[in-house]
Amino acid sequence: MLRTVKTENGFVRGTPAADPRITAFKGIPFAAPPVGDLRWKAPQPAADWEGVRDCLEFAPISVQNIPGLNKDDIYTREWNVDPEIPMDEDCLYLNVWTPAKSADEKLPVYVWYFGGGLQVGNPAEMEFDGERLARRGIVVVTVNYRVNVFGFLTHPEITAESPDAPANFGHLDQQAGLLWTKRNIAAFGGDPDTITIGGQSAGGMSVLAQLNCPANKGNIQGAIVESGIFMGFYQPRMLETLADAEKRGEDFFRFLGVKDLKEARALPAEYIRDKNIEYQGRWGTVTDGLFQPDNYMESLRKGKLLDVPLMMGYTDDEFFAAPEATTMEELKALAKERFGEKAEEFLSLIKADEGLEAAKQNASVSTIKNAVHGAYRLMEDNGMQSPRYFYGFGPEIPGWDHPGAFHSSDLWFFFETLAKCWRPFTGKHYDLARQMCNYWANFVKTGDPNGDDADGTPMEKWDAYTKDSPACMGFRDMPKAEIQHVSELEEFLIASQIK
């Protein structure tokens, strides 16, 4: 097994995973610590080291709200269980799981970005163990990145100082992890020309952001977006410009009590974190004209995303949207503002004559499921040639809280890490997870999820999605192929988004 590997900066030593045929390298630096004058700058090259660096434990997580404190929160119960997990602004490290015995195997590579709204999260969460995927013959890389105000603040002084990289530092960290993988993964037995990127929730949105970066062309051969594409059917399109984001940055500096960037960089990270919590700041992707030439949804409409094999899907019980109206007059005004001359058609579709509450219930739709439909239609209309695969996830999730197929519940399954969870999963769940992990690994290998189960029998055939045949793989009791048509209302709402 590969236990010691030479990277561009020096030798690293890994440790056997639970399966000793897999080696895990944890906490490999892929960029310089983003501290001091490097706070709010694009990631810089990591320093070289002498000797062999032990990479046996996860590096500290990026600075964020302390996890594991809110015992009423479902994500605290699931995986954010440790309030004492090490946290540091020096956080640009990644992790590698490899099954390779030598450096010349050229195995397919999966680069993973965690979710958490770009505000929280880390690759040390227990569900993100890459061992089970690696056992299927791929190299798995999980990348840490800066989040919240540390990863996504913008300010006029930052722009003036770094006009070539004024924003989106967390996404630039993700990209730096991808490029490090491109340069170094061959030493771990991986193929630098067969890299699939993937992520869930904000990690999935981050995948779309990477596909929306023209500089990534040639570095990405496939992409997986789990619950990471959204369409605000009842909200106006909000596109924050760099100038808009800079104004928020100026306001935050005033809230911090600093007069300039130098003073802000001199503050302790914990102080900035705590002031950001008080400020209730949410910082995210900015259309900066550089890393993000346009908002990814606008790029979708224009056919400008990178054209690679793509898998996207949703869970059954996440993120439904309905009109926010307290009176029928407000509902009608919203319909007029949002749908213009088609307002009456919309009101008819939701049966507004049945009363406000019934109309709002009738109007409730899945924002992610329908966003996938809309995105795939746009891609086909724009002539994108790569195959696209669609899934829905909705098995019974056990536990005293009866949570349904909640947002992120699928993480346990496609990483096949159910045994780490407190929930009383049974045989059917393990069977489903095994096959989901198979599909994901197959997609990473070939851009096609189809293949055989562990006993050599073919798994359920998963067809690519087209407008004429909107194929979907349903992961519920067991994988089941279906054709997923949308309702008349969903058709109306999707059309309103993709025009």
Q: What is the set of active-site residues?
A: 201
Which two three-digit tokens encode residue 94?
């990644």
Of 243, 250, 337, 331, nearest in space to 286 by CA: 243
Of 477, 481, 482, 476, nearest in space to 394 by CA: 476
Q: How far is CA 205 from its chain centroid?
A: 5
Q: Is 404 left (phi over 0), alpha (psi -120 to 50) or beta?
A: left
Residue 356: exposure state from Cβ atoms within 10 A (0-12, 13-18, ≥19) = middle
Of 454, 107, 450, 172, nearest in space to 311 by CA: 450
Helix (H) or strand (E) holding 25: strand 23-29
Q: How far is CA 101 from its chain centroid?
A: 30
Q: Is 114 left (phi over 0), alpha (psi -120 to 50) or beta?
A: beta
Distance of CA 291 to CAs 41, 149, 207, 322, 479, Å? 13, 18, 13, 33, 38
Helix (H) or strand (E) holding 200: strand 190-200
- Angle formed at CA 404 by CA 398 and CA 405, multiple of 5 degrees: 100
411 phi/psi in degrees, rounded to 5: -60, -40
Cα-trace Rg, the chain: 23
For residues 389 and 311, the answer to whether their CB atoms sit within 8 Å is: yes
CB neighbourhood size of 36 (10 A): 10
CB neighbourhood size of 398 (10 A): 14
CB neighbourhood size of 489 (10 A): 19
33 phi/psi in degrees, rounded to 5: -60, 125
DSSP character string of 61-84: BPS-SPTT--TTSHHHHHT---TT
For residues 432 and 475, the answer to whether their CB atoms sit within 8 Å is: yes
Pairing of β 10-13 and β 52-54: parallel
Looking at this protein, which amino acid is placed at residue 60?
A: P
Which two three-digit tokens encode residue 96?
């590698």
Helix, strand, coil % in the chain, rounded to nearest 5: 35, 15, 45
For residues 174 and 113, the answer to whether their CB atoms sit within 8 Å is: yes
For residues 129 and 437, the answer to whether their CB atoms sit within 8 Å is: no
